[in-house]
């Protein structure tokens, strides 16, 4: 149930929310979409060497009532399937039809990576490190440029859905720069169990959108090339909360408990090489000296226990069964004493 403080805040923020741009034409990639209309627009990604064109659908739903523009992005990294599934579920359940404003869904942003089940574009570049892009840059850079020029100026808020890399399972959390008050407020409204401070990475989509004055949250949950329904549900529920807060969707905010804010974090690394067994639950809070994992050899000769060096949350976990000394095992919060 929502807390009364949250409700009051929502009401008092009414005047601060973007009121939309009903007086201006809403043009996306050369096509006008009027209030109350929906459209699926194809955005060209590349001309292939087979002479075929490759494009991605951009699903636009405009309410008859003016309001903010929210963009939902999945698959910026092509192998991060949970994010694609979150945007898909939102479309499947018709949550992308707003009661005011406009919702733009791009479920598979990096379609090349998605087809190849890889993080990168075919030119080997991480799409999330080439923004804002350039008209004569690399393939990924040209695509980024098209987005920055044609789509980004239209939006007010962006939710960008990610997962950990292979063998790095992220417990569901929202990442934002805690010094940005509106992003932090939105992160609290999203309602994932944890909020993790993260500054903008150079040339990321988040950096570009921030420079343009847009509010963007990163959601992280699960790991690449794996579908996790509880992570997907967390992403969908959080998105609905954001939509309700922006008054784009009916219903009360679903906030069970206040998210814990992680201001600083570090990876605990393997003290030995061997077979790794985590013994603490990802997403849980552990006390100083709790045994959180063990490493053993294949011959039954040694077993080394790993204990928590301080009280912390574990929010990222290495799921590889075999590790080398120095490998990152547990991503944990570092808290002030
Ligand atoms: Zn990612």
What secondary structure does DSSP assign to 232-260, as a single string? HHHHHHHHHHHHHHTTSS-S----SSPPE
Chain-centroid distance, C-alpha 323? 28
Residue range 135-157: average pLDDT? 96
Q: Give the Cα separation of 79 and 120 in Å (integer).
A: 8
C-alpha 76 to ligand 1 mean position (Å): 6
C-alpha 259 to ligand 1 mean position (Å): 22
Q: Average model confidence (pLDDT) for the chain? A: 93
The pLDDT assigned to 7 comes to: 39
DSSP state of 154: G
The pLDDT assigned to 9 comes to: 42
C-alpha 320 to ligand 1 mean position (Å): 19
Question: Residue 287: how many CA atoms within 13 Å on its side-chain side?
Answer: 1
C-alpha 80 to ligand 1 mean position (Å): 6
Q: Give the Cα separation of 146 and 128 in Å (integer).
A: 14
Q: Which domains does the chain have, with CATH numbers?
A: 4-260 (3.40.630.10), 264-333 (2.40.50.100)
Q: Give the Cα separation of 47 and 284 in Å (integer).
A: 47
C-alpha 162 to ligand 1 mean position (Å): 4
Q: Could you tell me the CA-to-CA distances from 146 to 123, 149, 161 in Å, in that order?
A: 17, 5, 20
Percent of the chain beyond pLDDT 90?
87
The answer, as to whether pTM is greater than 0.75, is yes
Q: Give the Cα separation of 161 and 221 in Å (integer).
A: 8
C-alpha 25 to ligand 1 mean position (Å): 33
C-alpha 330 to ligand 1 mean position (Å): 18
Spatial contact of 140 and 130, defined as CB atoms under 8 Å apart: yes
Indicate if the pLDDT at residue 151 is higher than 60: yes
C-alpha 187 to ligand 1 mean position (Å): 18
The pLDDT assigned to 46 comes to: 86
C-alpha 163 to ligand 1 mean position (Å): 5
Q: Give the Cα separation of 231 and 23 in Å (integer).
A: 39
C-alpha 319 to ligand 1 mean position (Å): 17
Residues 6 or more apart whose CB falls under 8 angstroms from that of 297 comprise 274, 275
In this prediction, residue 22 has a pLDDT band, given cuts at 50, 70 and 90, of low
Spatial contact of 18 and 11, defined as CB atoms under 8 Å apart: no
- E strand residue ranges, the chain: 27-28, 31-32, 38-47, 53-62, 69-73, 102-106, 157-164, 168-176, 194-197, 215-223, 260-262, 265-269, 274-278, 285-286, 291-296, 303-307, 312-318, 322-323, 328-333
Q: Is 225 left (phi over 0), alpha (psi -120 to 50) or beta?
A: left
């Amino acid at each position: 149930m929502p807390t009364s403080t949250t409700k009051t805040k929502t009401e008092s923020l009414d005047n601060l929310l973007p009121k939309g741009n009903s007086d201006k034409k809403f043009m996306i990639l050369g096509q006008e979409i009027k209030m109350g209309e929906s459209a699926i627009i194809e955005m060209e990604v590349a001309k292939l060497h087979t002479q075929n064109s490759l494009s991605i659908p951009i699903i636009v739903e405009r309410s008859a009532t003016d309001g903010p523009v929210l963009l939902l992005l999945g698959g910026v990294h092509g192998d991060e399937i949970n994010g694609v599934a979150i945007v898909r579920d939102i479309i499947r359940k018709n949550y992308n039809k707003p009661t005011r404003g406009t919702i733009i869904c791009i479920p598979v942003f990096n379609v090349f990576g998605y087809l190849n089940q890889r993080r990168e574009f075919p030119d080997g570049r991480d799409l999330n490190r080439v923004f804002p892009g350039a008209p004569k840059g690399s393939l990924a850079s040209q695509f980024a440029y098209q987005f920055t020029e044609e789509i980004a100026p239209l939006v007010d808020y962006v939710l960008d859905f990610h997962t950990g890399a292979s063998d790095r399972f992220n417990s569901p959390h929202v990442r934002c720069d805690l010094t940005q008050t509106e992003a932090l407020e939105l992160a609290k409204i999203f309602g994932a169990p944890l909020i993790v401070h993260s500054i903008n990475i150079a040339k990321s989509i988040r950096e570009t959108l921030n420079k343009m004055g847009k509010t963007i949250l990163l959601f992280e949950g699960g790991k690449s090339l794996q579908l996790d329904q509880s992570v997907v549900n967390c992403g969908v529920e959080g998105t609905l909360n954001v939509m309700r807060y922006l008054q784009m969707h009916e219903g009360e905010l679903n906030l069970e408990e206040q998210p814990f804010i992680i201001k600083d974090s570090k990876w605990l690394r393997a003290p030995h090489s061997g077979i790794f067994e985590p013994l603490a639950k990802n997403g849980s809070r552990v006390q100083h000296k709790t045994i959180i994992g063990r490493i053993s050899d294949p011959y039954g000769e040694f077993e080394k226990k790993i204990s928590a060096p301080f009280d912390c949350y574990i929010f990222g976990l290495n799921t590889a069964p075999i590790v080398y000394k120095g490998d990152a095992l547990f991503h944990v919060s570092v808290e002030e004493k």
